[in-house]
A and B are shown apart, each in its own frame.
Chain A
Amino acid sequence: MQNRKIIFFLLPLFLTSCFYDLDEVGAFHSKYNANERFEMSEKWNSTHPFQVIISSDTSYSVLFCSDTHIGTYKEFGIVLSAAKNKKAAALVVAGDISRGHVESYDTLESLMSRVDSVNWFFTPGNHDLYFGGWDEYYKRFGASSYYFIVSTPNGNDLFIILDSGSGTLGSLQLNWLSDVLESFSASIRHITIATHLNFFKNGFSLTNGLPMEEISFILDLCVKYKIDYIIGGHDHRRNESVIGNTNFIILDQCHDNEKNSSYLEVKYESESCSHVYHSIPE
């Protein structure tokens, strides 16, 4: 009987250890919490001012993808080529870019070092933080909470990148988000927020979104500041919702081992924005 109990407790440990990408400890504990990562991001931001991308045209495109889970990067490579060929103003990857292992980050860093004509922006997802991944992320890519601006002849557009990799945005990041929106709202044409976790769920689900109170907090900001897009990933399944002026989009994955991959192209114009999905391969 005693032996059976020991086997009962050891069997799940043995089975989970068979999954290379499963960080059992990480499911219950993170080395850095959201507030600590935000403070490190702020430190990084203090020496790396926000980027301004100049667009000579009043309309332009930004590409968004998520959940690339590098490892392999055949599909992500297609998105990088598309960003280059379409002359997109920027490419935003909304988390789960890597698998958290050092070798995943090595591959990602090596890949991005060869991409010279695309303005790319990352934010970590839960997988990027597994296996102590934040240390690797921060060392190679810096801040996970920041913003950049695309400047056009008839106005500037604000893009805010948020870190939701550990299930919450955290109190410091929420306050920072309010301050950024307040300071830019009067002078900005369009506002887009990208983060890994999503807001709304579609039926019963086993994947997490943000905590309810944080969703409420951001919904308030969406209406108050007329945010155009909130873009996330994590679910690996496309979903769209609209409330008032704001489009809430969950991206498909962009992962070699899964079907129905796609990336999103958002077209920003003087008075409006629109978006279209591109299947991979197109």
Chain B
Amino acid sequence: MKTIFASLFLSVFMIYCNNTKSQTQIESSFIFGQNQAKSKDYLNFDICPSYQFDKWNFGIGTELALIKPDNSIINASKIDVEREIAIKNHNIKIYGGFYHKPFSKYMRELDFVIKLSTETGHFKGTIGNNSRIWRLSNEAMSQWALADSSNVKSKKEWRNLIYNFAFYLKDLDNKWNIGVGITNYDSFFFNHETEPMLFSNYENKLSEILSLHVGLWFQQAGFANLQAQYYGFYIKGGLICKIGK
């Protein structure tokens, strides 16, 4: 609940302290899907307010599990920062984020993400690294002291390539656009590099402050070196609200 209140508070605060050099953005999405680990339909809601000041962007966010939560209603939460830099008239965004996922009563997943993004013409591309830590929850350690007799409370995967490449039908600054792409991550989860997802997106700038986005993601269980099969899908749709200049 603290994360939800913090998100709401920051959203209001950002609107309040808005000035001519800054912009507040609130991105919200519903995610509806099905996969092998969640055979019954699931429905999540993401809300991610962010505050842009000059070349910097500071954000937080949370994902709520409205139907079929893994552990609690809060699936995941994040805090992130992004900086835009120009290299020879070409803009690149450098992103750093920290994600916390209490997916089980006994286990937590922590993700540290660094990525570089760029876009040009009809193309958007992102590449980066996700460092993942699984660790026992405090409850697991207090409940079963013996379970941690080996004194190993966590497992770390430092190197995991993340990528997102999308091609759009229209120029990226067009009022509406349709895109297709391949990625191994989305808002609050990061697959291994060998678990790509295919997606298609529709985006529409409804007004100066409001944009609509709808997308379909297709998930395959592994790739190439496996007798790989269908794993799942999800549909994601929502609004992005930008206030300020």
Q: Which residues of A contact B (CB under 8 A)?
A: 23, 26-30, 33-35, 126, 129-130, 165-172, 174-175, 200-201, 203-209, 211-214, 216-217, 219-220, 223-224, 226, 241-245, 248
B36, B107, B155: the one contacting A171 at CB < 8 Å is B36
Beyond A27-B225, A167-B226, A226-B147, is A216–B109 a contact (Cβ under 8 Å)? yes
**15 additional contacts, CB 8 Å, given A167-B222, A212-B189, A212-B191?**
A26-B227, A27-B223, A33-B229, A126-B225, A129-B227, A168-B229, A205-B192, A205-B193, A206-B194, A206-B225, A208-B192, A208-B228, A211-B195, A213-B38, A223-B136
Interface size of B by CB at 8 A reads 51
Residue of A nearest to B151 (CB): A242
Q: Does B171 contact A (CB under 8 A)?
A: no
Chain A nearest Cβ from B81, distance in angstroms:
24
B54 within 8 A of A: no
Asked if B99 CB lies within 8 Å of chain A CBs, one says no
Interface set, chain B 149-189, CB cutoff 8 A to A? 149-150, 152-155, 157-161, 189
The reply to whether A245 and B227 form a contact with Cβ atoms under 8 Å apart is no
Q: Are A34 and B36 in contact (CB under 8 A)?
A: yes
Residue from A167, A170, A245 whose CB has the most chain B CB atoms within 10 Å: A167
Pick the 10 closest A-B CB pairs, nearest first.
A167-B222, A167-B221, A171-B39, A213-B37, A168-B221, A220-B104, A208-B222, A223-B106, A129-B227, A242-B152
Chain A residues lying within 8 Å of B158, measured Cβ to Cβ, are 203
Chain A's nearest CB lies how many Å from the CB of B182? Answer: 14
A214 near B148 with CB under 8 A, answer no
| Bound CA span A169–B219, Å | 14
Q: Are A211 and B36 in contact (CB under 8 A)?
A: yes
A217 to B191 CA separation, bound complex (whole angstroms): 15
Q: List residues of chain A with CB within 8 A of the CB of B160.
A: 201, 204
| B45 within 8 Å of A (CB atoms) | no
Question: Known contacts A33-B230, A219-B134, A244-B136: does B190 contact A212 (CB below 8 Å)?
Answer: yes
| B41 close to chain A: CB less than 8 A | no
Q: A34-B229, A226-B144 are in contact. Are A216 and B157 (CB under 8 A)?
A: no
| Distance between Cα atoms of A244 and B226 in the complex (Å) | 30
Contact yes or no, B155 A200, CB < 8 A: yes
A-B residue pairs in contact (CB < 8 Å), sample of 14: A27-B227, A34-B221, A34-B229, A166-B221, A171-B36, A208-B195, A211-B35, A211-B231, A216-B107, A220-B105, A226-B147, A242-B150, A245-B146, A245-B148
Q: Is the CB of A167 within 8 A of B227?
A: yes
B171 to chain A, nearest CB (A): 28
Q: B140 interface residue, CB < 8 Å from A?
A: yes
Partner of B155 from the list A29, A35, A175, A243 (CB cut-off 8 Å) is A243
**B103 contacts the other chain (CB 8 A):** yes
Contact (Cβ within 8 A) A216 B227: no
**A-contact bits for B121-161, CB 8 A (1 contact / 0 none):** 00000000000001110001000101111101111011111
Tell me whether A170 and B36 are in contact in the complex, defined as CB-CB below 8 angstroms, given that A26-B227, A220-B106 are known contacts: yes
Which of A34, A165, A208, A244 neighbours the largest number of chain B CB atoms within 10 Å of its CB? A244
Question: Assuming A243-B152, A245-B150, is B107 touching A219 (CB within 8 A)?
Answer: yes
How near does chain B come to A226, taking the closest CB pair, in angstroms?
A: 6
CB closest residue in chain B, given A205: B194
Tell me whether A201 and B38 are in contact in the complex, defined as CB-CB below 8 angstroms, given that A129-B227, A226-B144 are known contacts.
Answer: no
- CB distance B157 to A130 under 8 Å? no
